[in-house]
Chains A and B, each alone.
Chain A
Amino acid sequence: MGAILSIAKTTIGEAIRRRVLLVILLVGVLFLVIAPGLSVLSLRQNYTVLTSFTLGVIQLTSAVIAIVLTVYLLPNEVERRTIYTILSKPVYRWHFLLGKYLGAVGALGMMMLLMSTVLVLVFRIMQQQASMDDVLQLATAPIFFFVQMSLLAAVAMFFSTFVSPIVNFFLSGGVYLVGTLFSPVFQDLSNNQTLPAAVKGAATVIHSIVPNFAQYNIQGGIINQGPELRSIELYYVQIVVYALFYIAAFLIAGMMIFDRKEV
């Protein structure tokens, strides 16, 4: 456990020193700061524009950070040959992989925390009539974006055990797109009673394998302040449990590949 935590800590330190990540983060924060200017342009829907834009910025920036951060973690260690130093010590490969993943998630969490703080500050300044409940509700979205990005980081970590960073960037991005767009479609298909059994079965299998990123996009209810959400606590617990299952699955698969990989 000590080895895992040490690797994670080192990874966080490395991540926050990487300029490319800091630039992405800076761009994200800048967009958050200028967001009120954008919402002022739309007097008719000030609240909606402010929240949709700021939450969108956080999600988009976090997704880019999650992928860029994770795709280089293993290949850089191999390329710089620092992995030999680590693996020559009493550290299992799975320790190394898990430590790297936890470090990536930790760094991602810190960056998202910074953006969320800016988000809340901007919201408080611009929406002074908003209650504490409104602020808390707004802050819920970044929490589940973090869960979503942790899952995305696990996907990228899995691919990084056998593909190059560039390929991994597009693969992980593609899985994110497919998981956001097609998960509901495949779920609909697998629930459709009129379809042939083979099609339904295929849809169920695909839906079970491709992680469902769509369910973390909970911002719609916050932005539009629509109807009362049903069993929302249960929903939140379930999507966290789902993420834990899939993160574990991707990490185990990654460990199995990395274990046999020649470095």
Chain B
Amino acid sequence: MNRSLMLAGLAVCIAGGAIVNRMNYPLWQENFSPRKDSDLRGLSGDQLLIALAGFREMVAGILWVRADTFFDEGNYDAILPIIRLVTMLDPKQIDVYATGMWHIAYNFTDEQSRSDRRYIPSALALGAEGSKNNDYTYELFFETGWLWYHKIDDDYSNAAKWWEEANKRKDMQTARKNILAMAYLRDGNMSGAIEHYEELWNTARDNFAKNPNDFQARQNVDTLEVNLDNLLVRLAQRGNFAIENGTYDQYDYDTRPPYDVGFTAQVTVEDSKILRVEGTWNVQPVGTRVRIVLRDKDKPNLRPAALKWDQGTSVDLEPEKDMTFMQDGLFVKNQAFFRRIDMARDPTMYPFNSDNYVIEFYYNPRSAPPHIQDRFGFNGEGMTDKNYLNTEVRDGQRVIYAQLEISRDELLRQGEWATRTPVKRTIGFIPTGARNTEEVINVPGLRNDVQEGQ
């Protein structure tokens, strides 16, 4: 055997292999490499070994089966780390990202089914990471937008931003494209909504012209026509076009004159961490929910009646343990609301570690149902309140916002408040006792000529 020849052959093989490997690397990186965002720090030794040996997807699949069992058992706490592990192991598992976001944002609740909103920044970060790792598909852009639109329900510019990205993806479902117009509307971008509907309508008509026997194509044209028609009628009746061209004051639009919602509220600390909230809201039609927030007075990442939801791209599965943030909706019936809020049974969700707190009441017509918006308008131009109309806490919007301060001693009924009952009231509070006992709900209109209860 000629050793020189073999040595030469060995060198050629190694050199050839190395060249092919370098040529192949860009394709491997693009097609098969887990993205750089995936890290494996959360894995135990055996999981790490198997994952590193090239069995990431297999381990991810097995873990996801385990998570499924926990879902069925209602053991939600156990699912959280598994979701994180699966996304680390296999960052291409879109369903795990989507389920994880939903789970983090919605499923951690207290005994009265209020979700722990301190988790929402983590859910958003997970969505951002998933979108980055799977930017070829609309799915996680859409899911993240949905979180802004539905769960946060107060910052629609972000929903619109994510859905704009979703709409750029080729696989975006036709029916889902419409919702971007709703986000534009709730963001106060009326022209954006009209343009988006028109664009979709034109595309749908072109598609229908090419496929005249396609029922789905026909249905899509019809749906968009109805949506666009409704939108234009609503904008006209609410006076949005008139506001744009400066003739709003000259005609009798549905949103004129502003309707006084007559907001008042009282909070009684019945027992330690148990609040009795009642108040008035002079709007008869059913469908109003006034947001109530109880939060630390001075902590970072807080803003009026909300958190700073977008807190970066780090997926932290432990929410800020020291922070207290309770959010609930006060359902209005017969022009009054009443709710007993019990935070005593969930000490981890409501730690009450600060000395001072604020109770906030917040109402934004952008989150209201259409029949309320017909009277109040998208930006609250048809709504007023002599004490609590606010144009500062949400830029460019007229919202109802009231803030009451309360101390830790008052909330926990300790110190001087151990034997006294703390009561906090807004200006001009009207007792609601009689209204709350009515079993019949009266439903008059909101038009100017039928302002009952004023």
Q: A residues bordering B, Cβ < 8 Å? A: 38-39, 41-45, 48-49, 51-53, 55-57, 59-60, 63, 92-94, 176-177, 180-181, 183-184, 187, 191, 207-209, 211-215, 217-221, 223-224, 226-232, 234-235, 238-239, 241-242, 245-246, 248-249, 252-253, 255-256, 259
Which residue in B6, B15, B55, B60 is a CB contact (below 8 Å) of A59? B55
Q: With the chains together, A63 CA to B53 CA distance in Å? A: 10
Q: State whether A52 and B65 are in contact (beta carbons under 8 Å apart), knowing that A215-B28, A242-B20, A245-B16 are contacts in the complex.
A: no
Q: With the chains together, A241 CA to B53 CA distance in Å? A: 22
Q: State whether A227 and B61 are in contact (beta carbons under 8 Å apart), knowing that A181-B52, A209-B14 are contacts in the complex.
A: no
Which residue of chain A lies nearest to B57 when distances are taken between CB atoms in the complex?
A: A52
Other than A180-B52, A183-B21, A238-B27, give 10 A-B pairs with Cβ distance below 8 A: A41-B65, A52-B90, A59-B54, A180-B53, A213-B54, A223-B90, A235-B27, A238-B24, A248-B13, A249-B10
Contact (Cβ within 8 A) A177 B53: yes
Q: With the chains together, A218 CA to B64 CA distance in Å? A: 20
Contact (Cβ within 8 A) A242 B96: no
Q: In this assembly, does B436 line the interface, its C-beta being within 8 Å of a C-beta of chain A?
A: no
Q: State whether A249 and B17 are in contact (beta carbons under 8 Å apart), knowing that A49-B65, A242-B24 are contacts in the complex.
A: yes
Residues of A within 8 A of B16 (CB): 241, 245
Q: In this assembly, does B95 line the interface, its C-beta being within 8 Å of a C-beta of chain A?
A: yes
Contact (Cβ within 8 A) B13 A249: yes
Please encode chain B, from 187 to 228, with 1 for each CB lying within 8 Å of some chain A CB and 0 for all others: 000000000000000000000000000000000000000000
Q: In this assembly, does B3 line the interface, its C-beta being within 8 Å of a C-beta of chain A?
A: yes
Q: State whether A49 and B54 are in contact (beta carbons under 8 Å apart), knowing that A224-B92, A245-B20, A252-B9 are contacts in the complex.
A: no
Which residue of chain A lies nearest to B29 when distances are taken between CB atoms in the complex?
A: A184
Contact (Cβ within 8 A) B137 A227: yes
Number of residues on chain B facing chain A (CB within 8 A)? 53
Which residue in A38, A207, A232, A238 is a CB contact (below 8 Å) of B62? A38
Residues of B within 8 A of A224 (CB): 57, 90, 92-94
Contact (Cβ within 8 A) A207 B9: no
Q: In this assembly, does B23 line the interface, its C-beta being within 8 Å of a C-beta of chain A?
A: yes
Q: With the chains together, A44 CA to B24 CA distance in Å? A: 35
Residues of B within 8 A of A252 (CB): 6, 9-10, 13
Please provide the 5 A-B residue pairs with the shortest distance between their CB atoms, ordered closest to farther. Answer: A56-B58, A52-B61, A227-B136, A245-B17, A249-B13
Could you tell me the distance in whole angstroms from the C-beta of B355 to the nearest C-beta in chain A? 45
Residues of A within 8 A of B28 (CB): 184, 214-215, 235
Could you tell me the distance in whole angstroms from the C-beta of B140 to the nearest C-beta in chain A? 12
Q: With the chains together, A249 CA to B303 CA distance in Å? A: 65
Contact (Cβ within 8 A) A92 B10: no
Q: State whether A249 and B136 are in contact (beta carbons under 8 Å apart), knowing that A41-B69, A49-B61, A255-B1 are contacts in the complex.
A: no
Contact (Cβ within 8 A) A57 B58: yes
Contact (Cβ within 8 A) B55 A56: yes
Q: In this assembly, does B237 line the interface, its C-beta being within 8 Å of a C-beta of chain A?
A: no
Contact (Cβ within 8 A) A45 B95: yes
Contact (Cβ within 8 A) A232 B21: no
Contact (Cβ within 8 A) B31 A43: no
Which residue of chain B lies nearest to A180 when distances are taken between CB atoms in the complex?
A: B54
Q: With the chains together, A73 CA to B438 CA distance in Å? A: 89
Could you tell me the distance in whole angstroms from the C-beta of B80 to the nearest C-beta in chain A? 16
Which residue of chain B lies nearest to A222 when distances are taken between CB atoms in the complex?
A: B57
Residues of B within 8 A of A215 (CB): 21, 24, 28, 32
Q: With the chains together, A122 CA to B316 CA distance in Å? A: 39
Q: With the chains together, A235 CA to B26 CA distance in Å? A: 10
Contact (Cβ within 8 A) B95 A48: yes
Q: State whether A45 and B93 are in contact (beta carbons under 8 Å apart), knowing that A180-B52, A227-B137 are contacts in the complex.
A: yes
Which residue in B6, B7, B21 is a CB contact (below 8 Å) of A208? B21
Contact (Cβ within 8 A) B30 A217: no
Which residue of chain B lies nearest to A238 when distances are taken between CB atoms in the complex?
A: B24
Instruction: Report whether over half of chain A's contact residues are helix, strand or loop; otherwise say mixed.
Output: helix
Could you tell me the distance in whole angstroms from the C-beta of B440 to the nearest C-beta in chain A? 44
Residues of A within 8 A of B99 (CB): 44
Contact (Cβ within 8 A) B9 A55: no
Q: In this assembly, does B68 line the interface, its C-beta being within 8 Å of a C-beta of chain A?
A: yes
Please encode chain B, from 61 to 94, with 1 for each CB lying within 8 Å of some chain A CB and 0 for all others: 1101101110000000000000000000010111
Q: In this assembly, does B174 line the interface, its C-beta being within 8 Å of a C-beta of chain A?
A: no
Q: In this assembly, does B33 line the interface, its C-beta being within 8 Å of a C-beta of chain A?
A: yes
Could you show 24 A-B contacts with beta carbons less than 8 Å apart? A38-B61, A42-B64, A45-B61, A45-B96, A52-B61, A53-B58, A56-B58, A177-B52, A184-B29, A184-B33, A212-B21, A213-B54, A215-B28, A220-B34, A221-B32, A224-B93, A224-B94, A229-B31, A238-B20, A246-B13, A252-B13, A255-B1, A256-B1, A256-B10
Q: In this assembly, does B134 line the interface, its C-beta being within 8 Å of a C-beta of chain A?
A: yes
Residues of B within 8 A of A57 (CB): 58
Contact (Cβ within 8 A) B27 A231: yes
Residues of A within 8 A of B3 (CB): 256, 259
Q: With the chains together, A208 CA to B23 CA distance in Å? A: 12
Residues of A within 8 A of B29 (CB): 184
Q: State whether A56 and B20 are in contact (beta carbons under 8 Å apart), knowing that A187-B25, A209-B14, A220-B92 are contacts in the complex.
A: no
Q: Which of A51, A191, A217 has the most CB of B within 10 A?
A: A217
Q: With the chains together, A230 CA to B29 CA distance in Å? A: 11
Could you tell me the distance in whole angstroms from the C-beta of B8 to the nearest C-beta in chain A? 10
Residues of A within 8 A of B57 (CB): 52, 55-56, 219-220, 223-224
Residues of B within 8 A of A52 (CB): 57-58, 60-61, 90
Contact (Cβ within 8 A) A207 B21: yes
Contact (Cβ within 8 A) B32 A48: no
Contact (Cβ within 8 A) B58 A92: no
Residues of A within 8 A of B6 (CB): 252, 255-256
Contact (Cβ within 8 A) B68 A259: no
Could you tell me the distance in whole angstroms from the C-beta of A179 to the nearest C-beta in chain B? 9
Which residue in B9, B54, B137 is a CB contact (below 8 Å) of A217? B54
Contact (Cβ within 8 A) A48 B14: no
Contact (Cβ within 8 A) A208 B95: no
Q: With the chains together, A45 CA to B93 CA distance in Å? A: 9
Contact (Cβ within 8 A) A235 B31: yes
Residues of B within 8 A of A191 (CB): 25
Which residue of chain B lies nearest to A219 when distances are taken between CB atoms in the complex?
A: B57
Contact (Cβ within 8 A) B53 A41: no
Q: In this assembly, does B317 line the interface, its C-beta being within 8 Å of a C-beta of chain A?
A: no
Q: State whether A242 and B17 are in contact (beta carbons under 8 Å apart), knowing that A43-B68, A215-B32 are contacts in the complex.
A: yes
Contact (Cβ within 8 A) B61 A248: no
